[in-house]
Structure 1
Amino acid sequence: MKSIEKVLVIFGGSFNPPTNSHFSLAEQIYCSFDEVEKVIFMPVSDAYPKKDLLEAKYRVKMLELVCKLNPHFEVSTLEVDSPVLLSSIDTLRRMQKAYEDHKIWLVLGTDNLKVMTSWTCYKEILEGFRCLVLEREDDILEHIIEQDTLLKPYKDRFIKMKESIHSDESATLLRQKLREGKSIRYMLPDEAYFYIIEKGLYTVVPTSHNKIGNNNIL
């Protein structure tokens, strides 16, 4: 009987803040592929050039509060702890070195897939690793690959998610609601929500929201 290879899925992002959609997708990934042992959340470092990026220590903490409740989830601070901004291939190679007995897959949305060949390291990524692709909106993975002559030779390096999660619970929307003083409860896990309230992250929230805060969160 052929043994199933062990796979770690790297789920990178700013997680600013992490939403229900992030964790729903991670759970779907774990449940959809027998070979997947864990989904590892990889938050970007403070050096990542993105507007309104909350300090990494808070984003990491929110992820940890949620992931500790699921044995198949893990948080890596590889990029956060790096003294230099790591490229995708640097991150993947370091993870592969740390987990030599595992295969490494990278979560990739079709929005990034469309521009992947503009990355200087795209060939190295596709030659050394596989990409687990999440189709966004009306995108179709096969069509994107077929229309890109640079991606076509690597079509076997892509794995298509069997289902897609469509949600309006984007981190951008949550940040906007917080700035407007609106509640975001139930749009992200309670562990992350209460932490945001407790620490007053993103904006000053109304006193009425604090009444339902969790004093056990440090």
Structure 2
Amino acid sequence: MKQVIVAFGGSFNPPTNSHFSLAEQIYCNFEEVDCIMFVPVSDLYPKKDLLSAHYRVEMLNLVCKRNSHFKVSTIEIDSPVLLNSIETLRGLQEAYEDHEIWLTLGTDNLKVLTSWPGYQEILERFKCLVLERDQDDFNTIVMQDEILKKHKDRLIKVKDSIHSDSSATLLRNKLREGKSIRYMLPDEIYFYIKEKGLYTVVETSHNKIG
């Protein structure tokens, strides 16, 4: 059996305790998982207040270098064009031929997965770890969609997934209001944000350093 790399995508703007807690839970709950690969979106991603990729990668690396089964991929950041999920997965599979690649996604994305470019290839080549969001029910979503139901063996619900109100948006807002966010994210990231003065003003990927 091949070992598995779990692709955990997101903006990580900033990375929070919830991201790392969930990643650790996935690693511990699936014995075939070799590592969790954080895949931050590129600066081309159309999201308001997106901090430069340089900072987001640095914050991820501060935590991942202290955990042997956490890694960071810059595959989307290094691309000259905005990649969609299937392109990212193909690239990771090519780079790690001796591993199986799994994708994490929330039930919010599961609901629209069959509208994504290359969704058929995603369901046929890559397993998906699904995290229930809000009041969503994984089984109901799958059974109400004929395509998802047909590929239900490729969809794995993450049991007892961590739910947290410590969203990145909440943390950014608190920082701009001058409020403390300590203990809502790892100390390494907290002190990095303080040192760099991040999120106290609207610092976007269009204001890159260097």
Q: What TM-score do the two structures reach when normalised by structure 1? A: 0.90
Matches within 5 A, 1:111-130: 111-130=108-127
Counterpart residue identity of residue 199, structure 1: K
* Partner in structure 2 of residue 212 of structure 1: none
Q: Which runs of 4+ in 1 moved over 4 A?
A: none
1:203 is aligned to 2:200: yes
Counterpart residue identity of residue 117, structure 2: T
Deviation (angstroms), 1:141: 1.1
1:178 is aligned to 2:206: no
* Partner in structure 2 of residue 11 of structure 1: 8
Of residues 68, 71, 83, the one that matches 1:86 is: 83
Deviations 1:42-83 (A, max 9, x none): 000000011110000000000000111100000011111111
Identical counterparts, % of pairs: 73
Deviation (angstroms), 1:98: 0.8
1:146 is aligned to 2:143: yes
Moved more, 42-51 or 132-141: 132-141
Relative contact order, higher structure (CA 8 A, sep 6+): 2
* Partner in structure 1 of residue 204 of structure 2: none
Moved more, 146-155 or 83-92: 146-155
CA contact (8 A) 1:8 1:40 kept: yes
Deviations 1:83-122 (A, max 9, x none): 1111111110011011111100000100111111121221
Counterpart residue identity of residue 160, structure 1: K
Counterpart residue identity of residue 40, structure 1: M
**Which structure has the bigger radius of gyration?**
1
Aligned counterparts of 1:17 and 1:101: Cα–Cα separation in 2? 31
Aligned counterparts of 2:89 and 2:117: Cα–Cα separation in 1? 15
Aligned residues: 201
Aligned counterparts of 2:68 and 2:116: Cα–Cα separation in 1? 33
What secondary structure is seen at the aligned counterpart in 2 of 1:90? helix
What secondary structure is seen at the aligned counterpart in 2 of 1:186? coil
Q: Which runs of 5+ in 2 are unaligned?
A: 202-210
* Partner in structure 1 of residue 208 of structure 2: none
Aligned counterparts of 1:114 and 1:45: Cα–Cα separation in 2? 24
Matches within 5 A, 1:1-218: 4-203=1-200
What secondary structure is seen at the aligned counterpart in 2 of 1:37? strand
* Partner in structure 2 of residue 216 of structure 1: none
CA contact (8 A) 1:136 1:164 kept: no
Aligned counterparts of 2:67 and 2:83: Cα–Cα separation in 1? 27
- RMSD of Structure 2 on Structure 1 (CA): 0.9
Q: Which runs of 5+ in 1 are unaligned?
A: 205-218
Q: What TM-score do the two structures reach when normalised by structure 2? A: 0.93
Deviation (angstroms), 1:197: 0.4
Counterpart residue identity of residue 102, structure 2: W
What secondary structure is seen at the aligned counterpart in 1 of 2:147? coil
